[in-house]
Structure 1
Amino acid sequence: MASTPDTAAETVPPARPRSTWLRRLRITAWCLVVVLVVVASAAGLFVTWTVRNSFPTTDGELAVPGLRAPVEVLRDQYGVPQVYADNPHDLFLAQGYTHAQDRFWEMDVRRHITAGRLSELFGADQVTVDATVRTMGWRRVAEQEYGMLSASTREHLQAYADGVNAYLAEHSGSELSVEYAVLGVITPGYVPEQWTPVDSVAWLKAMAWDLSGTVTYQTRRAMLSASLPADTVARLFPEYDYSRWEPSVPAASDATVPQGAGRAEKAAFTAALDNAADAASSLDGVLGPRGQGIGSNAWVVSGKLTKSGKPLLANDPHLGPAMPSIWYQMGLHCRSVGQECPFDVSGFTFSGMPGVVIGHNRHVSWGLTNLDPAVTDLYLERVTGSTYEYDGVQKPLETRQEVIKVAGAQPRTITVRSTGHGPLLSDVVDRLKNAGAQGRVPGVEAGEHAVAIKWTALQPARTLDAVFQLALARDWTSFREAASLFAAPAQNMLYADREGHIGYQVPGLIPVRKQGDGRFPVPGWTSATEWAGYLPFEQLPSALDPAGGYFVNANNAVTDPSYPHLITKDWGDGNRSQRITDLIKQGGKLDAAAMQRIQLDTRNANAANLTPHLLRVPVEGDTAKARDLLRGWDFTQPADSAAAAYFNAVWRNLLQLMFVDKLTNGAPKVDVDGGGQWFEVVRDLLNRPDDDFWHNAKRALTGRDAVLRAAMDDANAELRDRLGADPAAWRWGDLHQLTVRNQTLGTGPAPVQWLLNREPGGVAGGPATVNATGWNAKKTYQVNWVPSMRMVVDWADLDASRWVNLTGASGHAFDDHYDDQLPLWQRGETTAWPFSRDAVTAAARQHLTLKPA
């Protein structure tokens, strides 16, 4: 058989040169790169389109259903709107429309907070928050309040809701805000509901809670008292030092403040109180830090102290930082001010609520600080099954079911139980529903115990009426009439008017207790601990035109001990208020710029007190070099201060050595945050060099000087590790950083954080300084509360007044006005605050006309 050719061998191609393969590999790689670039570009374009899709129309004309006549919205270079209308209906409808344009996501989240419905948006992590709010019944109270409001207020609320809903009718999903695109991944298919007037009313409950510290004070004291001697607890909660700090208003009488025990049988209820505290603190994650440290500065000076001979009023409320800021600047103007359309007011508003909260009209101006009165009591209740004991009788608990819808999960049903004092806050966390069953109180049998909360903000009232009446006030008399409607949160109100008067007024519901002083929980099984009513408005602290020519409040005591009624025993320390007072007295004739300089003052009274002790304790080596930063230091804390960096590190480490282990390791939880309370605690202990708090067993430290030396050593080691070996190069701002986060989605995946948050930056100040930028010494130097805005009202020329917001007008990420005021705020600068029509028109950069559809 003849052989056949090897056809397979003949068809094998010759080997290609290596350069050919490399060339093709490069071509393939470049093609892949091109594809990736195209995909990335498309993704980038999509992201850009999604972000910009929500930017509102702020120039030209828009047709808006419900309007009766055209409305103008003029915006300045920072996007701050001034609204002009012919009637109140159109004015507040346009306010609702404008708020929705810039901040609807924020508004939507706020109403979910106050209704206990965050879980519908964000899933099971928010169930405890929702259960806490549902248990207290914020929305239920707001519904009752709406029915109590005046007819005109209800009309304004409805007009505002109509404006919000007009915007919702034309926008949905990412058109409303980019957060809805992100939310679509978590909760597909979510569609915002129509806005209602009650949505607006309910936000006042969140603000009242955010500004209330009584629950924190009561639980801290009671839990500490269960394991520490009474005198030790007293040293941790020092009495207000009236000898060092001036009150806000003059003495009222020669009577004495009523005293009360209010500590009965607290030891048995530590677990139940711990449970109630956990429930209460669950809200801090969405509303920011609460209670001690959260406050404000406000002061007003009469013409006798000013260059112009006219009053000046300054205000900067301290709240948790948020993106966007909690405030929204706005002017609300009737084109022709008269009986038919009486509004001409400008200031700081809350998105989601009509009216102006802080600001001025053409006649009067006002600022607010937190009074933080004792308006809450925790009642320790003896519960047996479905009943509770009261004056020897078993009374039935009131119960209701609340269904909490949860995104991505089954609904949760909770049973809310209430006594005559209020809802059982200790029911919110299941693990301690039977707290107190150990029966550790002598004479009290084992059984179920619970903690009920009684709080003035759960008493329906007409606070929103006060908001509109303040806008219409013309003098001190009408201002006080408006303030008398302000129930919760109770505030200090600073006042100045066109005629040259200055004033101070406390409004709000302040309970009169039969027993106790609001410092400790009280037994709920006896009528002896009930509230006997509320202080009449006429008996609340009030003063007009003081001889000294100024009023100052920075959460300090508003009266001296001669005032005959109990407001609180837990005043904030007087360091800020006294510093402001001193600067006013030293400032000569003041103008708006001088008021702003006072707002930015960073002198640390704690450093002035502690530094001399640090300088006399022998230290060696690198610590000595670090401590030399404190020699000649003026105790101010600008962001570039090396001395401030070292001192605050010493302070943080000192608190760790003195308190943190003693008060948190095997003992009740106490937040040693290092604020004004701790300034006073350590100030007293410095005169007790052998006190037990100057002993640290873990480090074998005995005595004050040994602990001070160890704190300086630890601070030096910490900063050398964090900031480098050269103490002269240390900077307070490198430690004390502010990151402004979106309160809801700003802690999510890194791309979302990049989209919604703003990068950290070093800031000046600290707790209990006038420029109050708080930080928690138990945790970190990071800023956790700030002056949320700053303003100065100048009655020599209202158009010369100044203001600044923490972030910006817009709630839309990457909008020009999302964070354009943040750099100004960080530098301590402000912007023009035009009020007259001529000044507003001159400042306008955008002009939008809203026309009836």
Structure 2
Amino acid sequence: MPANTTAPSGTTGSAGGKTGRKKGRRARLIVIVLVLALVAGIGYGAFWSVSTVRASYPQTTGSLKLDGLDGTVDVKRDSYGIPQLYADSDADLFRAQGFVQAQDRFWEMDVRRHMTAGRLSEMFGSGQVETDSFLRTLGWHKVAQEEYDKVLSEDTKKNLQAYADGVNAYLKGRDGKDISVEYAALGFTNDYKPAEWTPVDSVAWLKAMAWDLRGNMQDEIDRSLMTSRLDAKQIEDLYPPYPYDKHKPIVGQGAVSSVTGKFDPAATPSSSGLGSDTAQGATEGLNTQLSSLSDTLDQIPALLGPNGNGIGSNSWVVSGDYTTTGKPLLANDPHLAPQLPSLWYQMGLHCREISAKCQYDTAGYTFSGMPGVIIGHNQDIAWGFTNLGADVTDLFLEKVSGDGYMYDGKVKPFTTRDETIKVAGGKSRTITVRETNNGPLVSDRSSELETVGQKAPVGNSAPDRADGYAVALKWTALEPGKSMDAVFELNRAKDFTSFRKAAEHFEVPSQNLIYADTKGHIGYQAPGKIPVRLKGNGTMPSPGWSSEYGWKKDPVPFDELPYELDPKRGYIVTANQAVIDEKKYPHLLTEDWGYGSRSQRINDLIQSKIKDGGKISTEDMQKMQMDNTSDIAALLVPELMKINISEKSVREAQKLLEGWDYTQEPDSAAAAYFNAVWRNILKLAFGDKLPKELRVEGECLYVPRIDGSGPVDEQGKLVRECGRRAADTAQPDGGDRWYQVVESLMDDPKSDWWKTPERGRDEATENRDQLFARAMADARWELTAKLGKDISTWSWGRLHQLTLKNQTLGTEGPGLLQRALNRGPWNLGGGEAAVNATGWNAAGGYDVVWVPSMRMVVNLDDWDKSRWINLTGASGHAFSAHYTDQTDKWVKGDLLDWSFGTNAVTKSTTDTLTLKP
């Protein structure tokens, strides 16, 4: 896991404050270690500790009384602890869902709701105040409350209340230690007690999803920071246009009809699309503010992926014309941060008889703390999600004073509110949130930003009055919406019409929705609240002081968003690529699509299978999900093999690439070496050329002694000497945007990007092949240090490891704590932008930082022949048999049988619990 995950940890501040927080945290961890030692049965008190642990395990057999039920609910669990619920009313179904999820995952739910509400300090103390302050500024919980009070349907609110009642029924009469072992540890340091669950706690989780899937905010900041050192052409080199000629968009045809004003898959485009106007000239020079904002964003927990970057997903659906079953097959695997327990919770929600009183028969993946099913199928349709990546956030640079902010030459007063942050073991803190017409001033949460921007930057068209500058965030998720309504509507949908109606309400986060039904239809819909800009294209921060910028009142109309139903090609692929060719579409969705490496590979795999009358099976879909092919290796290896390498040890490594098929299996030495070469190409070509504001600290890049010799430690292991550090560079992350950057430069071997200065023992490079040769040498010595001098022992899996970390108390602390709560490592195949997207960030090393968080293949011919897997397991209890019982199978690419029908569920049931009124 990356550092910026949901793990509560101390944040930076003054030296004295930071030291104090660190001391307090260390003391707390010592107490936790003592508790976990008892839990593990070490020393005196073992019997008591085992009893404590077992007290938090859910009851899964027999019967329990659940207040508020109208009738009985059966909870049937299979051998992996996955529950299927059977009830006679919607209220009973969701009340039981809340109870069962709280049984398995309440600690996770509790931490999550405190995060979304900006209340982590109430649980973990003063180290979380800065994080809470930023989240209070965004106001997720405030907006969620407005949604619940003013926007959501009455049926949705009833379901949310029933769910909350079920959670609270579980909490009633239980102390923290009876709920989860983490509470037993936390109870030694403060008097925290879990409060009752509320419907708004569930709604707020959608805001957290939207934050991590928000699109291009970091790119917007980075592009602006680049202006301090790079010209417009150089920035364009680093953000190349989407390769529509090479990587197919999701929707291959159609347009907004000039007759109906709606999107029509059969219509012909009548316009040339949009231009690419930016706000660059109006905001250059405000890099101090943006750099500090970027640092502040790094401190915010990333629930779904590392800082909102690199998050992708795969989904595709194949028509029955091309399947062995004669009905559609639908696959989905969202790529999110690895978490323990997994972000997803598998579940079935079944009405014993469908009626107006009881409307649901659905199963799939949901989130702990939220009713309904997010991804899965019901008795009629199946659906999957991938991140559309629409640009739904804009940063506005504001000219501010103590009285307000400038807008069209006049000072307008801020909208303000005070937020009180309660701190466990300390004094409460109060912050004032200021908002402009463009949103909250997120820069107010940076101590550095409080003192910068006291004079107008050169070349800026801002007014020359007032005290300084600030940064406001405009984001569609800060407006009340109906996404929670959409969840229940999807669960009840019966055909493409009702599916699209549900999608219309799925406003944030904007997702690609794929569809299949039992009648044989397949489809796609692009939903979401997507802004229409007055001026600019969202790729750079905009000047907030001018009414020329900003958003129109109404977003892109839903009827004008692209969709498909039963396309002639017989399949639909979504993997974060462009939705539709921008030259054929009148609305700006984003300028920052994923670049289509994964999506095109899936397209190619499907095409190769169905050519000449071939058919696709469930097993074929499963194999596609595990495809490890490296697109960038296919481009670069032929060129790397042409380079004459004289140094024997480097030539030895180069030979690993001879005959390699570009697949990244865990035992592949070639994959290990190539990915190290790729990482070093990026460092050499781009690292020194990017602005200092984008530079990150990193490890030593290579062992400087060319023969591999050098000092050794007491165990005889080679000690790495630091000839150069990643701290000297602004290391690219290595995602498929960089694939496109490098591919675009390949035909210009003398481009300035390939030139590097002399440094230490390294001679200057003047062209592409010289830089590639140095990257191969640097990679050889990097892997010598990491994996040893003998290349026969190298493997990609030894570099590319997954460690699952408990999202709170397992992310830092002594080894005993780590061993008790965390699991791993596992050696993985796959890689960045492969279909099997076990992502790694070249800026930080080779460890896995995002993964296919679950995998499913839905069989529309026979629901009970569908298959699924979760990253970890059903339970959030660290010592439960179901904590990580799916992980080994997930690593291998195996899928579990997914029972849905009553007979199949009964056959697979190992435990039955009856909940009674």
Tell me if TM exceeds 0.5. Answer: yes
Structure-1 separation of matches of 2:843 and 2:776 = 17
For residues 623-665 of structure 1, the C-alpha deviation after alignment (integer angstroms, 9 at most, x for no partner) is 1111111011100001111110110111112222222233254
Deviation at 1:287, TM superposition (A): 5.1
- Give 1:633's aligned residue: 660
- Give 1:790's aligned residue: 855
- Give 1:352's aligned residue: 369
- Give 1:803's aligned residue: 868
Structure-1 separation of matches of 2:764 and 2:731 = 23
Deviation at 1:227, TM superposition (A): 2.3
- Give 1:17's aligned residue: none
- Give 1:33's aligned residue: none
Structure-1 separation of matches of 2:779 and 2:80 = 42
Equivalent position to 1:255, from 263, 271, 278 = 271
2:205 equivalent to 1:184: no
Equivalent position to 2:530, from 510, 521, 525 = 510
In structure 2, do the counterparts of structure 1 residues 311 and 286 end up closer, same or farther at CA, with 3 Å as the change threshold? closer
Equivalent position to 1:747, from 795, 807, 811 = 811
Give the conservation status (yes or no) of the 8 Å contact 1:286–1:744. Answer: no
Structure-1 separation of matches of 2:381 and 2:628 = 30
- Give 1:12's aligned residue: none
Equivalent position to 1:159, from 157, 162, 171 = 162
Deviation at 1:285, TM superposition (A): 5.0
Equivalent position to 1:691, from 742, 751, 762 = 751
Give the conservation status (yes or no) of the 8 Å contact 2:398–2:405. Answer: yes
Aligned pairs (5 A) from 1:207-356:
207-251=209-253, 252=255, 253-259=269-275, 260-284=277-301, 288-356=305-373
Equivalent position to 2:494, from 470, 474, 480 = 474
Amino acid at match of 2:763: A
In structure 2, do the counterparts of structure 1 residues 470 and 671 end up closer, same or farther at CA, with 3 Å as the change threshold? farther
Aligned pairs (5 A) from 1:648-797:
648-663=675-690, 665=692, 672-697=732-757, 698=759, 699-702=762-765, 703-749=767-813, 750-797=815-862
- Give 2:96's aligned residue: 94
Amino acid at match of 1:458: L
- Give 2:577's aligned residue: 556
In structure 2, do the counterparts of structure 1 residues 44 and 232 end up closer, same or farther at CA, with 3 Å as the change threshold? farther
Give the conservation status (yes or no) of the 8 Å contact 2:291–2:693. Answer: no
For residues 658-679 of structure 1, the C-alpha deviation after alignment (integer angstroms, 9 at most, x for no partner) is 2223325466675611111111
SS of the residue 1:679 aligns to: helix
Equivalent position to 1:365, from 361, 379, 382 = 382
Structure-2 separation of matches of 1:190 and 1:63 = 27
Deviation at 1:214, TM superposition (A): 2.0
SS of the residue 2:286 aligns to: helix
- Give 2:26's aligned residue: none
Structure-2 separation of matches of 1:763 and 1:780 = 14
Identity %: 52
For residues 232-272 of structure 1, the C-alpha deviation after alignment (integer angstroms, 9 at most, x for no partner) is 11111111011101111123224223222222322221111
Structure 1: segments with no counterpart, 5+ residues: 1-35
2:618 equivalent to 1:592: yes
Structure-2 separation of matches of 1:299 and 1:419 = 42
SS of the residue 1:496 aligns to: strand
Deviation at 1:345, TM superposition (A): 0.3
Give the conservation status (yes or no) of the 8 Å contact 2:74–2:914. Answer: yes
Give the conservation status (yes or no) of the 8 Å contact 1:158–1:196. Answer: yes
Deviation at 1:43, TM superposition (A): 4.3
2:600 equivalent to 1:578: yes
- Give 2:261's aligned residue: none
SS of the residue 1:696 aligns to: coil
Structure-1 separation of matches of 2:692 and 2:41 = 54
SS of the residue 1:783 aligns to: coil
Give the conservation status (yes or no) of the 8 Å contact 1:264–1:523. Answer: no
Aligned residues between the structures:
815
Give the conservation status (yes or no) of the 8 Å contact 1:286–1:743. Answer: no
Instruction: Compare 721-730 and 833-842 and name the one that shifted more.
Output: 721-730
Amino acid at match of 1:536: P
Give the conservation status (yes or no) of the 8 Å contact 1:51–1:813. Answer: no
Structure-1 separation of matches of 2:47 and 2:239 = 57
Give the conservation status (yes or no) of the 8 Å contact 1:76–1:846. Answer: yes
Give the conservation status (yes or no) of the 8 Å contact 1:488–1:509. Answer: yes
In structure 2, do the counterparts of structure 1 residues 548 and 181 end up closer, same or farther at CA, with 3 Å as the change threshold? same
Deviation at 1:409, TM superposition (A): 2.5
Structure-2 separation of matches of 1:183 and 1:716 = 46
Amino acid at match of 1:700: E
Structure-2 separation of matches of 1:365 and 1:695 = 52
Structure 2: segments with no counterpart, 5+ residues: 1-37, 256-268, 697-729
TM (norm. structure 1) is 0.94
Structure-2 separation of matches of 1:39 and 1:823 = 26
Deviation at 1:728, TM superposition (A): 2.6
SS of the residue 2:243 aligns to: coil
Give the conservation status (yes or no) of the 8 Å contact 1:135–1:416. Answer: yes
- Give 2:416's aligned residue: 399
Deviation at 1:729, TM superposition (A): 2.2
Amino acid at match of 1:542: Y
Larger Cα-atom Rg: 1
Structure-2 separation of matches of 1:400 and 1:456 = 20
For residues 573-622 of structure 1, the C-alpha deviation after alignment (integer angstroms, 9 at most, x for no partner) is 11100000010011120111110000000000000001111111111201
TM (norm. structure 2) is 0.87
- Give 1:813's aligned residue: 878
Equivalent position to 2:177, from 174, 177, 184 = 174
Equivalent position to 1:440, from 457, 468, 474 = 457
Amino acid at match of 2:742: V
Instruction: Compare 322-331 and 750-759 and name the one that shifted more.
Output: 750-759
SS of the residue 2:341 aligns to: coil
2:555 equivalent to 1:534: yes
Give the conservation status (yes or no) of the 8 Å contact 1:660–1:778. Answer: no
SS of the residue 2:390 aligns to: coil
Amino acid at match of 2:242: Y
2:65 equivalent to 1:63: yes
